[in-house]
Amino acid sequence: MAKKEKKDVARANYPKLYTSDPLAALDADTREKVCELENYIMKNCLWQFNSRGWDRRKQNAGILGMTAGLLIGEDVEISTAIDKCYWVDAVLLARNFTARCAWLGEMGAEEIRAIMAALHARIDWLTIDGSLNEELTVQNY
């Protein structure tokens, strides 16, 4: 039986933000903390599996950005319907992170921002830029 040929599919033209794992350059302690947060997301959240890469990037930024703000006690701006959706996930994520990761309570705002930025980069890498799922780039999907 002949091998199936790939169909010529229109691909979305958006640049990858990461060409390699963003955690590779970080120290072991930071990697361990980011991995703990990442494992929670991968095992308990479905929002990171949107069907298009650009949707995933937008959701990751919205939810993880709001989660970072909530973790450091900032007021989070909720001005659109999509912001409300992100906010709900961010509230649940922040609650679960603080309940499971006591070390978050010992960190200052800048340290939390740094950990959340590394987490955001890692989630983008896993779910978008480093993903082998070609459907993420189908233009008409």
Q: Domain extents for the chain?
A: 37-79+87-132
CB neighbours (10 Å) of residue 31? 17
Contact between 12 and 134 (Cβ < 8 Å)? no
Q: Please give the Cα distance from 121 to 72 (Å, whole number).
A: 19
Average pLDDT of span 23-47: 93
- pTM confidence score: 0.86
Q: Please give the Cα distance from 67 to 92 (Å, whole number).
A: 9
Q: What is the predicted pLDDT for the residue at 52? A: 75
Query: Does residue 135 register a pLDDT over 80?
Result: no
Q: From its phi and psi, is residue 44 left (phi > 0), alpha (psi between -120 and 50) or beta?
A: alpha
Residue type, 33: K
